[in-house]
Structure 1
Amino acid sequence: MAYLNILVAIPTYRNDGRTIRFTLEGLTKQTYKDFSVLILYKPSEGDRTLEVVEEFKKYLDIMVIYQNEGYIEEAMNLIYSNANADLLLTIDDDNIPDPNWVLDHKKFHEKYEMLGVARGKVIRKNQNLNNKKLLKDFAKKIIYRQFSELFDGYSGYLTIYGIPNDRPVRSAGDLIKTITVTAENMSVKREVYKDFRLPCHTLRGFHHENILTLHAIMKGYFTAEINGGVEKEIERMNYGVKKDSLSTPTTLKGRINLIAEHYLFPYASNLMGFKPRDLRFIRKLLLLSYRGLEKEAVKLGLDLAIKGIEEGLEPRNIRERLKLGLDSIVQGEINI
């Protein structure tokens, strides 16, 4: 493969420069240094993130783009539309890249020409924390069937219901095929991201990376977790970052939101050309396995997916209905 032009993108909002400093510091220590950095910055009152970014401009080739409205999906779309590198890497503003992070991603994309999207390893601040536990064991057994042979050999795959799921799969050498990639540690070939935009139908962007991987698969690429590209996750609260994490919320409303967005995914799956099957059947079974607010969240997500698919609702209409539905389930945010 020819020379790869590389861009590292960091979306940031209300970080106040507290943890992004360590992210940028990690980028200055990369063994492979031929890359540029894009900061996707959403301003907030009193935020000092750009002051920290300015300090690192003497060490890194940094460009800043402003996000004036929207959520994480709009942020990622700004990254996709402004990037023009052969290889786009993304990292969160509270992760520290290993010195070989850029080099590892580069090597894997050079080795595997049809690797469209890659996920690197993340050392968690809490290794026991796993959002997939939101999905109960009973439900996981029900929705195990894969959508089609396109997902043969995939650990993280799409079910016939258009809902992502995980299963144990033996590693094929130095990578494992999966659609469950995370933008906190991700690399994407230009051929995959340049004609891709997220539909902007959620609030927290849960599984937004899976929409990208489905797009890559439809284009003939495969997606995988690589044995390398290591990052370490920072405990945000230890550094005074008050903004709740999108993927690991500390509020009841935030966690209910994730459950609803998980079961809303069939709507996005349908938009990407993977039309879900038997949604009303799985809805009945899933509602038998949940109780209380979790049950209401599952119902909200699936009902929105079904209605959105059947009536051809626009993504922003889905987002507004999701917001109203969550407000009706949980009035205000309650710390747990």
Structure 2
Amino acid sequence: MFVSVIIPTYKGAHFLPQVLKSLKAQSFKDFEVIIIVKPSGDETEGIARKICKQFDLQHRILIQTEGHFTRALNMGIKGSKGDILLFTDDDVILPKNWVKSHIYNHIRFMKSGAISGQYINIAPTSGLVSSFKKESLSSKVSRGLRWRLPLLMIDKPHPLFKKYRLGIYITQSFRVAKGFYIPHKLCFSLPCRGVNMSFKRDAIKNIFFPEHPLLKIAPYNEQYLGARIVLEGWESIYDPQIVVYHRVRQGLSASTNNIERRIMSKLFEALLKEYQL
């Protein structure tokens, strides 16, 4: 089984060496690294080539000259050769069994076209910070009563995604929502975060991330791709045991705006209506 690890990068010169070092240390070795560089003047391309050669990583460097974030992801899909495609970011640290864990789950869940895991943030000054706030049992129950239960009653899971209500799912109003099993329990779930997800090649034939001139960040692009995979008859699994460590970057915001959210909501609506029984 051959694997492709896809990494989009922008202003990543400072971060790439660490993620490439952690790829060099992977227990599973039969993979290629696809790095999609959007030029920023910080010598990212040269550093990527140098480090990949230094670590003897099988690699391809693709240069993105137009489009936004999801264009880079789609370039990675088209430019890869793996039976399984893993996606991560340029500012992560990967445990040595990261690739192996994704492969294991794709074998374990043969009907699953998508596998995703959790991430833990590493703050620049204070070290590890959970990607989801730690809470007492009472506060979790209180939060659930305040937010998730009303959401489930008012904006229920879309009929095509009832099976996914404990994980990440699409609601009847075409929103992305999070169920009770995220982040701590194994469950059916659309991909949680793009920093830690993978797909069977067979599951994404002719399926790509959404592109639009106004979608710079494309919020929920992971869930959109996952939804398309599920609607094609595959399953999607979240496994909290697959972890990556995400370094918090200062000066590079991943914030989005209501325009992008509305565009994505319309894309979800069109997608689900296409498959509606």
TM-score category of the 2 structures, normalised to the smaller one: 0.7 to 0.9
2:241 and 2:235 map into 1 onto residues whose CA distance is 17
**Structure 1 unmatched runs, 5+:** 278-336
2:68 and 2:153 map into 1 onto residues whose CA distance is 32
Residue 130 of structure 2: which of 120, 127, 130 is its match?
127
Residue-by-residue CA offset, 1:145-190 (whole Å, 9 max, x unaligned): 1111543243211111111111214999x72111142211110110
Counterpart of 2:260 in structure 1: which amino acid?
E
What is the DSSP-based 3-state SS (H/G/I as helix, E as strand, rest coil) of the residue aligned with 1:184? coil
* Counterpart for residue 23 of structure 2: 27
TM-score by length of 1: 0.68
Counterpart of 1:21 in structure 2: which amino acid?
P
* Counterpart for residue 47 of structure 2: 52
Residue 253 of structure 2: which of 245, 266, 275 is its match?
245
Residue-by-residue CA offset, 1:204-250 (whole Å, 9 max, x unaligned): 1110011111111111111121133321011223xxxx4x232xx4x
Any conservation in 2 of the 1:12–1:39 contact (CA below 8 Å)? yes
Any conservation in 2 of the 1:95–1:231 contact (CA below 8 Å)? yes
* Counterpart for residue 189 of structure 1: 200
What is the DSSP-based 3-state SS (H/G/I as helix, E as strand, rest coil) of the residue aligned with 2:104? helix
Q: CA deviation at 1:22?
A: 0.7
In the TM superposition, 1:57-96 aligns within 5 A as: 57-58=53-54, 59-96=56-93
1:170 and 1:49 map into 2 onto residues whose CA distance is 34
CA separation of 1:263 and 1:232: change in aligned 2, threshold 3 A: same
* Counterpart for residue 163 of structure 2: 152
If each structure's helix is expressed as a fraction of its own residues, which one has the higher value? 1
Equivalent residue pairs, number: 253
RMSD: 2.8
Residue 198 of structure 1: which of 206, 209, 216 is its match?
209
CA separation of 1:71 and 1:18: change in aligned 2, threshold 3 A: same
Q: Which has the higher contact order (CA 8 A, sep 6+)?
A: 2
CA separation of 1:148 and 1:114: change in aligned 2, threshold 3 A: same
Larger radius of gyration: 1
What is the DSSP-based 3-state SS (H/G/I as helix, E as strand, rest coil) of the residue aligned with 1:57? helix
Any conservation in 1 of the 2:19–2:91 contact (CA below 8 Å)? yes
TM-score by length of 2: 0.82
Any conservation in 2 of the 1:23–1:93 contact (CA below 8 Å)? yes
1:137 and 1:229 map into 2 onto residues whose CA distance is 27
1:169 and 1:9 map into 2 onto residues whose CA distance is 27
**Structure 2 unmatched runs, 5+:** 123-128, 134-142
Residue-by-residue CA offset, 1:98-157 (whole Å, 9 max, x unaligned): 110000000000111111111122112343668xx9xx9498466431111543243211
* Counterpart for residue 223 of structure 1: 236
1:200 and 1:191 map into 2 onto residues whose CA distance is 21
Any conservation in 2 of the 1:80–1:194 contact (CA below 8 Å)? no
2:39 and 2:183 map into 1 onto residues whose CA distance is 42
Residue 168 of structure 1: which of 174, 180, 203 is its match?
180
Identity %: 24
